[in-house]
Chain A
Amino acid sequence: MRFFVVWILLLHTCGSFAFGATTRSFCENVFGPVDCAGTMGNGRLTIALSNTGRIRSVHWPSPGYFDQLSYDVRHDDTGGVYVPENHGLRWAVRTTETVFRNHDDYFVHPERDILVVSLVPQAAQEGSTIYWCANFTPCTRLIPEIPLGDSLFDYANDFAVFTPDNGRTIVHFRPQGLRVSDWDKARALVRQEAALAEWENFDEGVWIAQGASKPPTGFQCGVSRDASSAFAQAKKGRLAGETAAVGDCDSAFQFSWSGSGNAASPLAVYIAFGKTYSQSIENLQYARGKGYVALLRETQAALKTRAASLEAATKPQQELLEVILTCMDRETGALVCMPLAQPPMHIDIPRKGVMGAYALGVAGRHNLVRKRIDFYLNALREEGTPGRPAGSIPAGLYANGAEALPHVILDAEAVAWVLWLCAKHAEQLPSDARATFAKEVASKIEAAADFLETWADPRTGLPRTAFNPDKLRDAPSPELAIHTYMGLQSALALAALSGQERPDWRKRAQELQ
Chain B
Amino acid sequence: MMAARGNKTRLRGLARRWGALLVVFLFFLVFVLIDKRVKHSGDTMGFCPSEAACAVLSTDFPAFCSKLAATDAAERFMAKTPRPFDSFELAVRKATGVRPTPLRWSIWLGPRFVASRWNNAYGVCVHPGLVLRLVHTLRTLCGARPNGQGLHTFAEHYYAWREGFLIVSASPDYVLAAMESPPLEALSLDNEPRLCVRWPDGTIQISAEESIPVKGMLDVDLNAGGTLSLHQAWPESTFFSVTAHNAEDTLRLWEIAQRSLQKTPLYQELVPVARTLWKHWALDAPPENWSSHVAEFSAAFMGIDTRQTFPVPEWAAMMRPTSLDGPFQHPWESVIAPLAPIDYAWEGRQGVIATLLGEKFAVCLAKDNERWMATSQRELMTHLLAVDPPRLETDADVVLQVNWQAMGRKAEELLRKAGELELIPEMNVQGADVYLGKYARSVAELGRLEIFGEATESGLAFRGTLVSHEDEEVANQ
Same assembly:
yes
Looking at B45-53, B230-238, B247-255, B303-311, the stretch in contact with chain A turns out to be: B303-311
Does residue B472 face the partner (Cβ distance < 8 Å to A)? no
**B416-432 interface with A by 8 A CB criterion:** 421-428, 430-431
> A387 to chain B: which residues have CB within 8 Å?
358-360
Flag if B280 contacts A26 (CB, 8 Å).
yes
Looking at A277-285, A415-423, A473-481, A486-494, the stretch in contact with chain B turns out to be: A473-481
> A407 to chain B: which residues have CB within 8 Å?
308, 310, 358, 360
- Tell me how many residue pairs across A and B have CB atoms closer than 8 Å: 99
Does residue A471 face the partner (Cβ distance < 8 Å to B)? yes
Contact with A along B399-435 (1 / 0, CB 8 A): 0000000000000000000000111111110110011
Flag if B277 contacts A474 (CB, 8 Å).
no
Flag if B421 contacts A143 (CB, 8 Å).
yes
Flag if A180 contacts B427 (CB, 8 Å).
yes
Given A145-B310, A146-B309, A408-B312, decide whether A386 and B360 contact each other with a Cβ distance below 8 A: yes
Q: What distance in Å separates the Cβ of A271 from its nearest Cβ neighbour in chain B?
A: 24
Interface residues on chain B, number (Cβ under 8 Å) = 38
> B187 to chain A: which residues have CB within 8 Å?
none
Given A179-B431, A407-B310, A475-B338, decide whether A22 and B280 contact each other with a Cβ distance below 8 A: yes
Q: What distance in Å separates the Cβ of A266 from its nearest Cβ neighbour in chain B?
A: 38
Given A145-B310, A385-B307, decide whether A156 and B358 contact each other with a Cβ distance below 8 A: no
> A476 to chain B: which residues have CB within 8 Å?
340
Complex CA gap A143/B308 in Å reads 12
Given A177-B428, A465-B355, decide whether A141 and B421 contact each other with a Cβ distance below 8 A: yes
Complex CA gap A178/B361 in Å reads 34
Q: What distance in Å separates the Cβ of A471 from its nearest Cβ neighbour in chain B?
A: 6
Complex CA gap A121/B356 in Å reads 55
**A445-489 interface with B by 8 A CB criterion:** 457, 459, 465, 467, 471-476
Main secondary structure of the interface of A (DSSP, over half): loop
> A26 to chain B: which residues have CB within 8 Å?
276-277, 280
**A2-59 interface with B by 8 A CB criterion:** 22, 26, 29-30
Does residue A144 face the partner (Cβ distance < 8 Å to B)? yes
Flag if B339 contacts A29 (CB, 8 Å).
no
Q: What distance in Å separates the Cβ of A408 from its nearest Cβ neighbour in chain B?
A: 4
Q: What distance in Å separates the Cβ of B277 from its nearest Cβ neighbour in chain A?
A: 6
Nearest B residue to A407 via CB reads B308
> B360 to chain A: which residues have CB within 8 Å?
386-387, 407-408
> A140 to chain B: which residues have CB within 8 Å?
422
Complex CA gap A204/B12 in Å reads 83
> B309 to chain A: which residues have CB within 8 Å?
143-146, 403
> B281 to chain A: which residues have CB within 8 Å?
471-473
> B427 to chain A: which residues have CB within 8 Å?
180
Q: What distance in Å separates the Cβ of A227 from its nearest Cβ neighbour in chain B?
A: 14
Does residue B11 face the partner (Cβ distance < 8 Å to A)? no
Flag if A473 contacts B424 (CB, 8 Å).
no
Q: What distance in Å separates the Cβ of B416 from its nearest Cβ neighbour in chain A?
A: 14
> B312 to chain A: which residues have CB within 8 Å?
408
Complex CA gap A146/B310 in Å reads 7
Flag if A141 contacts B273 (CB, 8 Å).
no
**B347-364 interface with A by 8 A CB criterion:** 354-361
Does residue B186 face the partner (Cβ distance < 8 Å to A)? no
Return the contact of B426 from the options A141, A177, A180, A474 (Cβ within 8 A). Answer: A180
Complex CA gap A467/B428 in Å reads 34
Contact with B along A166-208 (1 / 0, CB 8 A): 0000000000011110010000000000000000000000000
Main secondary structure of the interface of B (DSSP, over half): mixed
Return the contact of A465 from the options B277, B340, B421, B430 (Cβ within 8 A). Answer: B340
Q: Which of A153, A385, A386 has the most C-beta atoms of chain B within 10 angstroms of its own C-beta?
A: A386
> B282 to chain A: which residues have CB within 8 Å?
471
Flag if A408 contacts B310 (CB, 8 Å).
yes
Does residue B32 face the partner (Cβ distance < 8 Å to A)? no
Flag if B339 contacts A459 (CB, 8 Å).
no
Complex CA gap A302/B221 in Å reads 73
Complex CA gap A156/B427 in Å reads 9
> B326 to chain A: which residues have CB within 8 Å?
none
Flag if B430 contacts A474 (CB, 8 Å).
no
Return the contact of B431 from the options A146, A180, A474 (Cβ within 8 A). Answer: A180
> A144 to chain B: which residues have CB within 8 Å?
308-310
Q: Which of B343, B355, B435 has the most C-beta atoms of chain A within 10 angstroms of its own C-beta?
A: B355
Return the contact of B423 from the options A22, A156, A471 (Cβ within 8 A). Answer: A156
Contact with A along B62-83 (1 / 0, CB 8 A): 0000000000000000000000
Nearest B residue to A180 via CB reads B431
Given A180-B430, A472-B280, A475-B338, decide whether A156 and B422 contact each other with a Cβ distance below 8 A: yes
Does residue B342 face the partner (Cβ distance < 8 Å to A)? yes
Flag if B423 contacts A153 (CB, 8 Å).
yes
Complex CA gap A87/B361 in Å reads 37
Complex CA gap A472/B275 in Å reads 13
Contact with A along B429-462 (1 / 0, CB 8 A): 0110011000000000000000000000000000
Flag if B425 contacts A156 (CB, 8 Å).
yes
**A98-146 interface with B by 8 A CB criterion:** 140-141, 143-146
> B143 to chain A: which residues have CB within 8 Å?
none
Q: What distance in Å separates the Cβ of A326 from its nearest Cβ neighbour in chain B?
A: 29
> B431 to chain A: which residues have CB within 8 Å?
179-180
Does residue A232 face the partner (Cβ distance < 8 Å to B)? no
Q: Which of A152, A177, A409, A474 has the most C-beta atoms of chain B within 10 angstroms of its own C-beta?
A: A474
Flag if A475 contacts B308 (CB, 8 Å).
no
Complex CA gap A472/B277 in Å reads 7
Flag if A408 contacts B424 (CB, 8 Å).
no
Given A180-B430, A406-B310, decide whether A474 and B423 contact each other with a Cβ distance below 8 A: no
Flag if B423 contacts A410 (CB, 8 Å).
no
Flag if B358 contacts A474 (CB, 8 Å).
yes
Nearest B residue to A145 via CB reads B310
Given A156-B425, A179-B428, A180-B430, decide whether A474 and B310 contact each other with a Cβ distance below 8 A: no
Nearest A residue to B359 via CB reads A387
Complex CA gap A475/B354 in Å reads 9
Q: Which of B309, B342, B360, B422 has the most C-beta atoms of chain A within 10 angstroms of its own C-beta?
A: B422
Flag if B423 contacts A30 (CB, 8 Å).
no
When A and B form their complex, which 7 residue pairs have the shortest distance between CB atoms, in order from nearest?
A180-B431, A145-B310, A406-B310, A387-B358, A408-B357, A408-B358, A144-B309
Instruction: Identify 30 residue pairs between A and B in the complex whose beta-carbon atoms are under 8 Å apart, listed by A's number.
Output: A22-B280, A26-B280, A30-B272, A30-B273, A30-B276, A141-B421, A144-B309, A145-B309, A145-B310, A152-B269, A156-B423, A179-B428, A179-B431, A180-B426, A180-B431, A386-B307, A386-B359, A388-B308, A407-B310, A408-B310, A408-B312, A408-B357, A457-B342, A459-B343, A465-B340, A473-B280, A473-B339, A473-B357, A474-B356, A474-B358
Residues of B whose CB lies within 8 Å of any CB of A are 269, 272-273, 276-277, 280-282, 307-310, 312, 338-340, 342-343, 354-361, 421-428, 430-431, 434-435
- New contact pairs (18) apart from A140-B422, A465-B355, A472-B277, CB-CB < 8 Å: A26-B277, A143-B309, A178-B422, A178-B426, A180-B426, A180-B431, A386-B360, A388-B308, A407-B358, A408-B361, A457-B342, A465-B340, A467-B358, A473-B280, A473-B339, A473-B356, A474-B356, A474-B357
